[in-house]
Amino acid sequence: MFSKACEYGIKAIIYIATQSLKQERVKIGDIVENVGSPEAFTAKILGALTKHNIVKSYTGPYGGFEIERDSMKSINVADIVFAIDGESIYNGCGLGLSECNSAKPCPMHDKFVKVRSELKKMLQTTSIYDLAQGVKSGRTILIR
């Protein structure tokens, strides 16, 4: 469903958020150790997320990544997916037609639009803060 890049990005952001809740900046090494993703690739993805202002990064000693409490509450999974994969997941015809709308729909248009808008809604209403709280409480896990 998601690309690997998205999977790694979402998990990294959640992990950073859990540590930021404890006022702790995390280094890339900590992140990949705790989410089980390849280091260099994850670093590249975090670079993109930094540019999109989803996470803040600091170079040098005592540097690393962090997310402000405010951001954590306002940023949702849809923002992360958009920053990494663009809007391709949300737009475009399910069967690949160059144009497809209710006036001239592909055979699956109506049903496809319905489930996709549910997916979009789900991603938009799932905040990083909530996900981080789940991990913090021990109810959910980031690695296995």
Partner DNA sequence: CATATTTACGACAAGTTTATCCTAATAATT
Partner DNA sequence: AATTATTAGGATAAACTTGTCGTAAATATG
| List 19, 54, 65, 76, residue binding DNA (CB under 7 A) | 65
| List 24, 53, 63, 111, residue binding DNA (CB under 7 A) | 63
User: Dihedral through CA 47, CA 48, CA 53, CA 59, nearest 10?
Assistant: 10
- Kindly give the residue spans of alpha helices, DSSP state H, lying in the chain: 4-20, 28-35, 39-51, 69-74, 77-85, 109-124, 128-136
Please answer whether residues 74 and 55 qualify as being in contact, where contact means their C-beta atoms are separated by less than 8 angstroms.
no
Q: Does 138 bind DNA (CB under 7 A)?
A: no
Footprint on residues 36-55 left by DNA (CB under 7 A): 37-41, 43-44, 46-47, 50-51
Number of residues that bind its own copies (CB under 8 A): 42
* Secondary structure (3-state) at 95: coil
27 binds, among its own copies, DNA, none (CB under 5 to 8 A by kind): DNA
39 binds, among its own copies, DNA, none (CB under 5 to 8 A by kind): DNA
Write down the least CB distance from residue 24 to its own copies, Å. 19
Instruction: Retrieve residue 76's tokens.
Output: 């949702």
